[in-house]
Amino acid sequence: MSAWAPRLRRGARLGFDTVRRTPVVLFPEGVLVLNATAAAVVGACDGVATVPDIVGGLAGRYADVRGDDVLTLLRGLVARGVLRPEETGGTG
C-alpha cells in the first residue's frame, strides 16, 4: 500500500468556491466540497508522492493529520473516481 501514489484523474482539478468560501474538487461527474486539510491532501497527490510521503508532508503543516484518516480520504476519492491510484512499482 505504501507504493501507492495517487494523482487527480484527467479532467479533475482543485478549485476554490468563492460563494461557499471553501475548497472544492471539480470533476466530470460532479463537485465535492473539501475542508482545508482534505484540500491539502488532494493538492499533494501528484502521482509521485506515496501515501506516507503525503502524510509526512502534511504532518508538518497540520497538527491533526493522522495517517489512517488520510488513507480513508484517499480511498474515498478513488472510489468517487476523483483520484487514480498510481502504482509506483514498489513492493508495497
Partner 1 sequence: MTASPPFGMLAELTHRCPLHCPYCSNPLELVRRDRELTTDQWRSVLTQARALGVLQVHLSGGEPLARRDLPELVGHAHGLGCYVNLVTSGLGLTHERMADLARRGVEHVQLSVQAADEERADIIAGARAAKHKKAAAAAIREAGLPLTVNVVLHRRNHDQVGAIIDLAEELGADRLELANTQFYGWALRNRAALMPTRAQLDAAEPVVRAARRRLAGRVEVVYVLADYQDRLPKPCMHGWGARQLTVAPDGTVLPCPSAHVITSLEFDNVTERPLAEIWYESSSFNAYRGEEWMREPCRSCDRRGVDFGGCRCQAFLLTGAAENTDPVCALSPHHGVVEQAVAPAVDVPFVMRG
Pattern 63-82, binding to partner 1, x per CB under 8 A?
Answer: ------------------x-
The residues near 47 (Cβ < 8 Å, ≥ 6 apart) are 5, 6, 7, 84, 86
Among residues 30 and 92, whose Cβ is nearest to partner 1?
Answer: 30
Distance CA 6, CA 86 (A): 5
**28 belongs to the binding site for partner 1 (CB under 8 A):** yes
- Runs of H (alpha helix) within 31-66: 36-43, 51-59
Among residues 17 and 66, whose Cβ is nearest to partner 1?
Answer: 17
| Contacting residues toward partner 1, per CB under 8 A | 9-11, 13, 15-20, 24, 26-28, 30-31, 81, 84
